[in-house]
Structure 1
């Protein structure tokens, strides 16, 4: 009967796996069969627990339908946990409870009167928490999954009400006066369970699966709960993944340490990839480097073999020869070489130790290809005996010293007159290191005139010419230019922000850059962007096309690449780098003015000489384009308390209607209406040439933005009341003698003609 029942249950399970819409129909039908009873077989209990865990973890079943069925399985899960001792049933029941807990929680939030199901869920939670420290490792890993879900549910999620996440079940859904689940109690319990979860990684590491399971559960908590992210991250950075290195290095401990270390590294690397601008990434990188060094020290020390015994280089230790019965190896026989012939000596004779050898008459100039000579010479040098090579060098050194000491003027007759004893032994150089050092000192003390030019060996050197560098393509030149700009901005970013220039002399006579401060680099880069290619694109300057700055397809010019780098550098931290933005825009404005003046002068000179220009006199400027881009980049991040916007608007050299219309766009945010109106009022008061543009922007704001009408009306009543229409009919206005409103002068005063 049990086998037939399981076969029927498997058929229903296959149907639900094919289409998740059948779960709400199948679960009520199988609950009476899989529910706990004393006469029920263990196979059906295992199947029931596995089916419930699989059903509520299925992604094909909508969360709304899961929430409707979650309360119906609580009694079955509670009976499994309290009455069934089988580990497989308990593990599946805990996994099912981890999936059901958020659903029951959201159901209780929306229905505070359902106290019965919340009591069942609380009993299940208490049972699982009691097993957390005493159960077998497999059950404890499932309990960690349950703890992760409880912490996610009982901690607040995104606190900004403007960005609600309706799929995120968190403490933010609970009201402060909820009768069944009080906010303060749930929050305290959630943080307590988080501490309990973090204690696992700092505790006993004998069970590596438990520690790695805990580390794997922390990644989701850091990602979805920013409130607890710093606490979790600090706990992980204070965690020692190689804690078992102090215990005996058994194969089991090695596997556990490697597993924990890799899981920790993967967790921290994912945190850095998910948020590259996180200020904690520096600490994470230091922790990863320290962990890597510890891993090398631990595992290299454990895998290192016993070092070889120290033995003499030239053979066995003499103290052991008698006991081992081994003979000492014979030394390499000394190299015998005849003395130099009398008279002038060439380089060939000086270095020839065997005059009868087969290589004496070998001419290396026969090799036309140097690569072929290298292929022969390198293996020959590798096969030379080191001891013989040292002896040969000593012989050549002794020959040279003897030749210099006897003097090159000694003739053959003088050498023949010297009596030679019959029993004189053949000359053998001394290979003691002390004699070699004496010979070197003796050579250093001799003057260069002791070796006359007419007798010194001479060798003619062939002329050598470096190969010409290959010509760069346009794409390669663009690539290397971009790399240079990238390094320049990297150097600018490395300069301390608070480092001020040491130039004490100010005014117009000061130099632009006299040190390596941030201001000096900003000046250099902004002038490189504005003045490096100034006039190269202007045909009136008479510059040929091949000397102009050209851009490859899809790439930027050098000046535009520097401008883009300045923009990115400013936007990285625009509040602290607003002075860089002002300096850059001033350079752009000044360069546009100079180019316009140059074009105007050239046009006048051409007209005086009878030449006419087919192109407009004024070149297209870059200031307006850069100012608009910078304003569009900064304004979305400006908050209602950022008074630094007033500094930017007051210190940029030129403003027009197209730039100020951005303030009207910013005023569409209710929180920033007052800031926009304050900026326009500031410009009206302290930049009189902009008054007409400022009042026009205020009038457009008053007509198009209903929320900004009150703030704009306060200013328009004083500056342009006729825009308000009937709402300002009670406000007295000054009229001219023709009945028209008074005109506004350049300094903001009203011009009124006296009526006679």
Structure 2
């Protein structure tokens, strides 16, 4: 079989384990002989990469990883000790060893007899640490990661009881003092030496940016998980100067290196200081960050500044001296005649693209930030020139508004011209307006007479025409769109379960902009918005009856129903809140209707049954949402409990149905008798449920089963099962 065919089959095996991690053990055992040290380089690359991916996957359980690590140590040892090994294979092998080392240590702590496993792991570690000396940068980065995992495993953890804490946190605390294979003191000393070796890249101000970045990226978890390393790490970081290379001539490559190192150091320090902003570590980091930012600003300013003019020898031409920047040529042209907008007054640019740009599309916070930064950095002289130009334009507009009309162009002798057709001059225009608006209020008349006296152009106040009336169908469509947008807002709100404190039952609706408040608003819109309007009917112009006042409320109810059933297990609290509002509204409306002697529709029973019928088919035997729903909704009746009884058609759901009914019997005394009647019906109709139902009835209605037996004997030993059999209630 060719190498390409083998790679294709191995890729299919990899897809299999990605779908189901339980196959990792079988696939690894089957593929280990394929990519041994003597295999083709492509097979070795695939195998080493597959092992690195497998042991780094969080989907595999820790116990399974520990078992698999014992299988791959021999293969890893053979691959890493090959002096002519491929670089890509070595990189993946070192990554795999970094994941396997804590697992091997955890295994040898509990199984001291398996010295062969620990010897293999020790040989792999020694080989990797030797490669760390002169390996290419891509391998040294992997070696740094391996050293970090060794340091974490061979230093004391912050957890005082490591065996009861995080199982992934494997540390020196787990090793007993009298262990036959592992020496605690030598392992701790080795970890300290590896840490000093890692920090040497910072203390020596290495110019290898990849190695320095890799070292900095591994230090955060050491400081967080191993407090004993904090002083060494912070001393090295705070003495490191990422801007050292900026003193040399700045080539494009050097600029990228300096920016990368400075950003990595700055982000590491900010991350460490945020964990304890008032601690001693933050007090040491803050001055360092300030010095770092000041140095960066000086370097940036120095790069952009030209050298000063110096005296030159005779015959040598001096370079052009840096001069102060000149102000841009700002042309403030007067506004042309005609109407103008406020934007025309403040616009100086002649660029058509900028003039047509709609600033309204820019978010207000971003526009404010840009405006503040621009005003802070603009030249004062240029800013003053722009302000003077705006003042002059506003003065011209003001003078144009007060300018009197030309007497040569005004027609005053209108009696001599038989064909006179009045133009829109002040006096005649006002007279015509007064004739047309005789019924207008006197205040408006006086306001329109003022321009006539002043001789200025006067126009009546413009009013928008009233909108066309909505017909019922259009109103329903608009209401549906509003309901859809209201429910769309809920997906962007915070979950009230993440809040530390809640307002309680006396909270105001929308007192806080979270999902809980929004649900309260929606449920009250559905239940209370049309309260008292149910008996009102509206007729169209043609006499046909329009849609009632509750159509919008029913639309919200339908949307609430769909919203709850989309994920009823997580949104059962929404269903309970909604039904509580429905129950409360029904009681208030019924009390008000009893005084008026009218009938009002009730909605609680209808929607409670719909919700119960909606999620009952999707319940499983261990589901607790049914018990919670029945225990928290405000009202129960025989019809609701009869829906629960239908669950007993499935023998696997008998326990769920009877347990929910027993909870009602114990915790909700007002519905106890109805719940016991339902249990009796289950005992009669479903033979599979008799054993469990009989146990409950023996305690709560002890005479029921005896009466049933007597009834069976009186009916000639007929089976009591099936519908239509009498139920004797005590």
TM-score range, shorter chain: 0.3 to 0.5
Larger Rg: 1
Taking structure 1 as the reference length, the TM-score comes to 0.41
